[in-house]
Amino acid sequence: MSESSSSVSRKSGLPPGSLVHVGEVLATETRVSVVDYTTERSREFVARSIDEITRYRDTGSVIWVNVEGLINVELIEAIGQQFDIHPLVLEDILNTQQRPKFEQYDEYLFLVFKVIYPADDGVSVNYEQVSILILDDYVFTFKEKQDDIFEPIKARLRNHKGRYRSLGADYLAYAILDTVVDLYLSLQDYMDELIESVEEDLLASPGTETLATIQRIRRELIFIRRSSAPLRELLNGILRSDSLLIGDGTLIYFRDVHDHVLRVTDAFDTYRDMVTGLLDIYNSTISNRMNEIMKVLTVFASIFIPLTFITGIYGMNFAYMPELGWKWSYPLLWVGFILIPVILLVYFKRKKWL
């Protein structure tokens, strides 16, 4: 949450095209891990210089360069120069407040989007921007921080299981995107559980902390929808693209990711209605409770206030109050003290207050 409200405009005032990391710094160093694989073999290593990255060009293997942490601007600039990437693309990679988008260039494709998944603590959500550059035999991924969200892909490349290693850079890009959309699906699970727990709270005993949770869900949803909705457009862009960088055989896989994205965004759209529903229930419950409280007050007050008035009468000290001297006054009054409440209680019962 705090991320989104941080310095959106930190770069304002700089000339366009200046390469500066814009956004919260989520990693203090830049780690570049490379996977270089062909159908036959697969190799993983951590690159320390730009040479280690460019060395494998045109060797017929697919090279996946995963850059984690965006603090090393020089490195990203060097990659840009070596692979002839447009300065505005490099700028977009470094600015972590991008709107998800797909851009097609002659020599490469550029994708940028948010990865959102529930944090391990179970109460918060992790945000991270990921950019992908798809070249002929290179795939670059740029991430804001070091984590293991791409670990499953690496594992599969390592074990040469599945179609992974036999297919090209486009299939690797698909696998990355698919992994990311799966994280959105787990976010959907997380949201489902959160909303369900709030619903249970509402039926049991809604309090101010329930209200705070509803508000938190609403805010999270606003950010999640803002990040996920443009994914539809992004995938549409890929599906309609005529780039040779994506093979015909791989397009069907992107279509599958597109279906998943539609499912996720459909779900997030309906969550909005659900949260409104939660708030409605909360408010109705509060009103109901107020009614209960008022009923109790009214029943107590309506019964005892008239009785107290009666006692008041015979507490007066007038010299001439004949009833005071009668023998049956007091017992008769007790009859009234019992009858009046009974009558009123029957009346309230009829009004369905009790």
Q: Least distance from C-beta 57 to a copy of itself, angstroms?
A: 26
CB-nearer residue toward a copy of itself: 103 or 136: 103
CB neighbour class for 229 (10 Å; exposed up to 12, middle 13-18, buried from 19): middle
Minimum distance of a copy of itself from residue 40's CB (angstroms)? 19
CB closer to a copy of itself, 30 vs 174:
174
Closer residue to a copy of itself, CB minimum distance, 60 or 312: 312
CB of 189 to a copy of itself, least distance (A): 5
Half-sphere CA count of 240, side-chain side, radius 13 A: 8
Sign of CA dihedral 44, 45, 46, 49: negative
Joined tokens for residue 220: 């999270």
The alpha carbon of residue 328 and the mean position of all alpha carbons in its chain are separated, in whole angstroms, by: 76
Query: Closer to a copy of itself at the Cβ: 262 or 339?
Result: 262
**Smallest distance from the beta carbon of 49 to a copy of itself, in angstroms?**
28
- Asked whether the beta carbons of 211 and 202 are under 8 A apart, the reply is no
Q: How far apart are CB 219 and a copy of itself at their closest, in Å?
A: 7
Question: Rounded to the nearest whole angstrom, what is the least distance from the CB of residue 147 to a copy of itself in the complex?
Answer: 14
Which residues pair with residue 117 across a beta bridge?
126
For 260, the enclosing helix (H) or strand (E) is helix 248-313
> Which residue is it, tokens 């209605």?
273
CB closer to a copy of itself, 45 vs 337: 337
Give the span between the Cα atoms of 52 and 310, in whole angstroms.
Answer: 99
Q: How far is the CB of 53 from a copy of itself (least distance, A)?
A: 25
Residue placing its CB nearer to a copy of itself in the complex, 69 or 128: 128
Total Cβ atoms within 10 A of residue 311: 10
Question: Which residue's CB is nearer to a copy of itself, number 40 or number 318?
Answer: 318
Cα atoms in the Cβ-side hemisphere of radius 13 Å centred on 185: 13
Q: How far, in Å, CA of 161 to CA of 283, rounded?
A: 54
- Owner of token pair 């070596």: 82
